[in-house]
Amino acid sequence: MRTPVAFLIFNRPDVTERVFAEIARARPPKLLVIADGPRPDQAEDAEKCAAARAIIDRVDWECEVLKNYSDVNLGCGRREASGMIWIFEQVEEAIILEDDTLPQPTFFRFCEELLEKYRDDERVMHISGDNWLFGQKQLHCSYSFSHYCLSWGWASWRRAFRHYDPEIKLWPMLRNTSWLLDVLGDPRAVEHWRNIFDLTYAGIENVDTWDFQWLFTIWAHHGLSALPNTNLISNLGFNREDAAHTKGGANDRRNRLTTPEMIFPLKHPNFMVRDKDADQMMFDQTIRPLSQLSLYDKMRQKCADALPAPLRRSLASLKTKLLQSKQIDVSRSS
């Protein structure tokens, strides 16, 4: 293996150890590690963070280890966003995993071959290890092109990530144009993502993640993502109390994803055109199932869209703070 691997960790040494074992099998020549600091209100965090970081010290192959460890807790959004920026300041390209994203061993070779093939092709901005089609669409090639940059395990280049803006400052200029409909071709998807980008633009604390901003960046630059024809990543975070974004795993189809190996040599697509049918299927059945689109939800979104942008942002921020306060009250009473 020739490609650097980046690894994002926090306070879960058990899953960190499992993913680290797969990285060790791949033996990358350079390992970049991003770690968030302990939360001040969680007494066990300091010990857990130290235990997770100690796993990195087990590197026993010829490897340059670069560490970007925070002494304070930045949260998922700020820590991962700043960590991703740091990664591509250090290296031209990288394969990226988080502490709960367990790769199928062929994931590394798949990413490495596509990083080389599309290294100088500005159209491709992201290589994913995820496939959320559940075998419902058979691909004739080893991968297809998509607008969705699934990022449980992924790879990219400095030349693509240099466009990344965690504040999505372009959103106000694009929001009320036809841009999002031109990208997605589906009014329902436009409604869904407009709401997410409104929250994201209002402040990273509203979504506490980095990847909505990366998705926006790719769409704003007419970029494509390469998605494998078989899923190569399983998420170990489902049904855990310490999960950040996968607490509802029992009802999430992605909790049941399998990870068949990628077959080599890779069969490349003849044309660089996104698979619109696959994107639509993924949106309808996984990203936002149609069964969740009630009449109330539709009417609420229509009313929200009619409000001035500053008021929408203020209301979104207030709603988030109220929900967070409610969650804190519930946790204290339990």
Which residues of the chain are modeled with pLDDT < 70?
Answer: 204-206, 239-252, 289-334
In a domain, 183, yes or no: no
pTM: 0.83
* Residue-wise DSSP of 111-161: HHHHHHHTTT-TTEEEEES---STTSS--SSSEEEES----SEEEEEHHHH
The two tokens of residue 149 are 């940059």
Closest by Cα among 22, 254, 224 to 143: 224
In a domain, 24, yes or no: yes
In a domain, 90, yes or no: yes
Rounded (5°) CA angle 319-321-323: 70
In a domain, 128, yes or no: no
Phi then psi for 90, rounded to 5 degrees? -90, -35
At residue 256, the pLDDT reads 73
CATH code: domain of residue 10: 3.40.50
In a domain, 107, yes or no: no
The two tokens of residue 329 are 């009250």
The two tokens of residue 320 are 């988030």
CA 131 to chain centre: 13
At residue 37, the pLDDT reads 97
User: For the chain, how many structural domains are there in total?
Assistant: 1
In a domain, 329, yes or no: no
Q: Which uninterrupted H or E stretch holds 196?
A: helix 187-202
Could you give the CA distance from residue 197 to residue 319 in angstroms, rounded to a whole number?
15
Residues near 38 by Cβ (< 8 Å), separated by ≥ 6? 11, 45, 46, 48, 49, 73
3 state SS of 60: coil
At residue 333, the pLDDT reads 42
Could you give the CA distance from residue 110 to residue 155 in angstroms, rounded to a whole number?
10
In a domain, 54, yes or no: yes
Residue-range definition of the domain harbouring residue 13: 1-102
In a domain, 91, yes or no: yes
